[in-house]
Amino acid sequence: MYKYFKRFFDFIVALVALLILFVPLVIVAILIKVDSKGPVLFKQERLGKDGVPFKIWKFRSMCVGAERQGTGVYSYKGDSRITRVGRIIRATSIDELPQLVNILKGDMALIGPRPALTYHPWPYEQYTEHQKQMFDVLPGVTGWAQVNGRKEVPWPERIELNVWYAQHMSLKLDLKIFFMTIFKVVTNANNENIGKTGF
């Protein structure tokens, strides 16, 4: 029953947030465009519910073609590929706000497992049946793994946290994750990749 309420609530929150944040989002888009060449939005294929790929939206925070410049799609502390504006929007998680559109489209939820890349840590077919339980729910803008270590959590442990969330999803748990996320964003906790573990 909760999953139906959750989808309705997510849609309303995303719609209201986009309306309230419209002007700030436009300003961020202009700053990104002025700061560096390339599109304002970065779109990347991720694994969604039931392992079905979808395009996730983010504000572009790295120079165009960054994923081809030797270190892949992952960033690290002091990464020279991150633009000046990119450093600010990453530190404040503003780069994630375009995912409100993904929520409206039904690709994502506010709370859920962060959507994995289609090829890393491995393709969908290579997840075990137990691990695939994390794909039983919509991926989220934030999730249980993010508030329990975020980018410092090794992949096997992160997947286990995602599976646990999928098995225990509830309003109480989602509210807990929401407020823990606010704290993480304000303190910028665990927001640097320590290796090939982060999104």
Strands (E), 112-197: 140-142
pLDDT at res. 77: 56
CB 49 within 8 A of CB 138: yes
Q: Percent of the chain at pLDDT above 70?
A: 87
101 near 15, Cβ under 8 Å?
no
The answer on pLDDT for 194 being more than 50 is no
Q: What is the pLDDT of residues 35-59, one digit of tens each?
A: 999 999 999 999 999 999 999 999 9
Handedness of CA 161, 132, 175, 23 (dihedral sign): positive
**pTM for this one?**
0.87
Band of residue 69 on the pLDDT scale cut at 50, 70, 90: low
CA distance 16 to 28: 18
- Give the CA distances from residue 19 to residues 9, 22, 74, 84, in Å, rounded to whole numbers and listed in that order: 16, 5, 31, 27
The more confidently predicted of residues 151 and 18 is 18
